[in-house]
Amino acid sequence: MQPVRVIGLGNRLRGDDAVGLHVARSLRGRVGRQVEVIEGVAGSLDLLEWIEGARQVILIDAARSGQPAGTIHRFDASTAGIGACLFPSSTHALNVVDILELGRALGRLPPQVIVYGIEAVDLRDGEALSPAVAGAVEQVAAQVLRDLEDMTHA
Amino acid sequence: MPGKKPKTRTIAVDLVARVEGEGALRLTVQNGEVRDVELKIFEPPRFFEAFLQGRHYEEVPDLVARICGICPVAYQMSAVHALEQIFGTRVEGPIRDLRRLLYCGEWIESHTLHVYMLHAPDFLGYDSAIAMAKDHPDLVSRGLRIKKAGNRLMTLLGGRSVHPVSVRVGGFSRVPLRRDLDALHEDLLWARDAAVETVRWVAGFEFPDLVQDYTFVALTPSDDYPFNEGPVASSRGLHIPSCEFEAHFVEAQVPHSTALHCTLNGASYLVGPVARVNLNDDRLSPLAREAFAGTGLSLPIRNPFHAIVARAVEILYAIEEALRLIERYDPPSSPSVPVTVQAGTGTACTEAPRGILYHRYVVDEQGLVREATIIPPTSQNQRRIEDDLRAYAPRVLSLPDKQAALSCERVIRCYDPCISCAAHFLRLDVTHL
């Protein structure tokens, strides 16, 4: 059976940008054996390879839409693109939405793609998350676990 | 608004999408003439140079790999060569070959990303690779597959595909087995053919006619096409070892940018694929030379838009070179040579995908870094980009602002500026006085 993948994206050295990585890390050991957890660099086209061959993918990345820090956005990108410009391009060529759309154009998206964006506030150099963002990590992790449960039952 | 043009008009176009990193460009125009061109770079004040101070030399390769997500190998290579110069460490034979091989992986990845995903859309009339992929999925898939061959080299030698972790002063923390490298052979053979096609493809694009009188600067080793070593040479007769780099190439603060501008004899110069091909064409691999000859371009390349062709030729070179190095690989008895720590100053230049990357370190007798200086290729090309824009902008001034700005972006994109190394935001402002 094709695997389910949970992929956290971010840059560990750029403050809140790393929030997706924190969520992925907190999920290690808490997901079923058929679920692969990946901590990846944001903006890398490697994402296309990480999602390829999976039947379901859950992505978690930092978002910047002007909402309060720690706000959680959830999108189903399975059949249509995420229109909103929520994800920072920061120092990378392509953001997560661009890469998903590239995958869609090439027919390489898994059947189900869920994207979480967590509002980041501080992207300066450093390894610490700001408090509101750190507070969202466990909430998102719990929601991802519920998603995985729903997927199993679907 | 006929006859009632506002005195000053500023438009801003986001350039973030397809330039690695961020920065800003301001063009000032008066009576149809370009008065001033300023490429603004907002650099976190030399964060890494300060960050490296007090660190043990063994930490340096992993720390500098974090400066750039696209060219981490270049940062690691310039760092280890500079530090090895201080310690008198000589790295030869298969370990030297593996370093070249790792560099091949980075060039394949970085150049393919730029040619296919960032630059080709400009020539085919798309605003992004996504739009291009909808009409040309096979082309984009070909690019992704070539890039993947580079990824596999990076993952095998570097431990992972981004921010490699196996590079150390004296060699590597581990080296691959013969059979690990043999497993890449088939992918690379496919990629070689695809790279030949790539050169043919990009050479068929229509290029704006912009010929410039450049000073080309590249490493020029006597036997190989340059990656890790060689004297720094220019097309105007300069020929120096890397330790004299700072005596000739001067970094200076300019008012409009927090990044430093680098000049040679007070003028701009060009580093990167075009400069390398122009100064090292006789050291290209056989297929790469043949493919270049087939493009009909003549040397020296003096049109910045032809950089995409030079980059494609270098993808082919890096693949052929990788195949050659894998063919002759005989694993070393030890992954690294012993290092004797001593105080001193060391310098090195290597050829990052975007051009010469200079590092200088001062280390004390404990092996702690006292001083670090890093001059990335993009800050060397900045002045050159401004000069190209000064020459190019007049011909786009009659276009509506948005079109003019997009045309200028295309000039900037020819340089594949990795502004994340040197800056954090890139926008284009055109001010009509």
Taking residue B178's Cβ as centre, other Cβ atoms within 10 Å add up to: 11
- Write the DSSP symbol of residue A106: T
- Beta-carbon separation of A91 and B69 below 8 A: yes
Q: Spell out where B155-294 has E strands.
A: 167-168, 171-172, 217-219, 232-234, 239-240, 249-254, 257-264
CA atoms within 13 A of residue B274's CA, in its CB half-sphere: 27
A115: DSSP letter: E
What lies within 8 Å, CB to CB, of A19 at 6+ separation is A10, A60, A61, A62, A118, A120, A129, A133, A136, A137
CA distance A126 to A5: 28
Q: What pLDDT is recorded for position B281? A: 97
Q: Which residues of A touch B22 (CB under 8 A)?
A: 89-91
**Secondary structure of chain B: what % helix, strand, coil (to 5)?**
45, 20, 35
In the numeric block, which tokens belong to residue B237?
A: 């007769």
User: What residue ranges in B176-314 does DSSP mark as E strands?
Assistant: 217-219, 232-234, 239-240, 249-254, 257-264
**Which of B390, B396, B380, B410 has its CA nearest to residue B37?**
B390
> A4-153 falls under which CATH superfamily?
HybD-like (3.40.50.1450)
Residue B224: closest CA among B103, B91, B378? B103
Nearest chain B Cα distance for residue A12, angstroms: 10
Smallest Cβ–Cβ distance between B69 and the set A43, A105, A125 belongs to A43
Q: How far apart are CA B22 and CA A92, in angstroms?
A: 9
Res B419: pLDDT: 54
Q: Which 4-23 residues of chain A touch chain B by CB within 8 A? A: 11, 13
> Going residue by residue through chain B (433 aa), what tens digit of pLDDT does each one get?
344 443 443 433 333 333 334 557 777 877 777 888 887 654 433 578 888 999 999 999 998 887 777 788 999 999 999 999 999 999 999 999 999 999 999 999 999 999 998 899 999 999 888 889 999 999 999 999 999 999 999 999 988 766 778 999 999 999 999 999 999 999 999 999 999 999 999 999 999 999 999 999 999 999 999 999 999 999 999 999 999 999 999 987 776 665 667 899 889 999 999 999 999 999 999 999 999 999 999 999 999 999 999 999 999 999 999 999 999 999 999 999 999 999 999 999 999 999 999 999 999 999 999 999 998 888 899 889 989 988 998 888 888 877 877 788 888 889 987 654 433 234 556 666 6
Residues of A in contact with B47 (CB under 8 A): 125
Residue B431's pLDDT is: 66
d(CA A76, CA A135): 23
Q: How far apart are CA B121 and CA A94, in angstroms?
A: 14
Helix, strand counts (H, E) of chain B: 15, 14
Q: What is the pLDDT of residue B17?
A: 32
DSSP B135: H
Q: Considering only alpha carbons, which residue of chain B is nearest residue A49?
A: B148
Q: Does domain B47-381 have CATH number 1.10.1200.10?
A: no
Distance CA A129, CA A116 (A): 17
Mean of pLDDT over chain A: 87
Q: A51 to chain B, minimum CA–CA distance in Å?
A: 14
Is any Cβ of chain B less than 8 angstroms from the Cβ of A46? yes
**Residue B15, pLDDT score:** 36
> Crossing angle of helices B72-87/B137-158, nearest 10°?
30
C-alpha distances in Å from residue B257, one per residue of B41, B43, B264, B271, B292: 5, 8, 19, 20, 37
Question: Any alpha helices (H) in A41-110, and if so which ranges?
Answer: 46-51, 96-105
**Residue A17: CB partners within 8 Å, gap ≥ 6?**
A10, A11, A42, A62, A88, A90, A120, A123
Provide the number of CB pairs (under 8 Å) joining chain A to chain B: 65
Q: What average pLDDT does this structure show over A81-108? A: 73
8 A C-beta contact, residue B242 and residue B358: yes
CA gyration radius for chain A? Answer: 14
CA dist A130 and A5 (Å) reads 27
Tens of pLDDT along A95-124?
Answer: 788 889 999 999 999 999 999 999 988 877
A107 touching B, CB under 8 A? yes
The answer to whether A85 faces chain B, any CB pair under 8 Å, is no
- Quote the pLDDT of residue B410: 86
pLDDT of residue B266: 87
Task: Yes or no: say if B49 and B362 are a contact pair by the CB < 8 Å rule.
Answer: no
CB distance B199 to B291 below 8 Å: yes
- Residue A107: strand, helix, or coil: coil
Which residue do the tokens 């999920």 mark?
A27
Distance CA B185, CA A131 (A): 49
Tell me the domain boundaries of chain B.
9-44+382-432, 47-381
> Tell me, what's the ipTM?
0.81
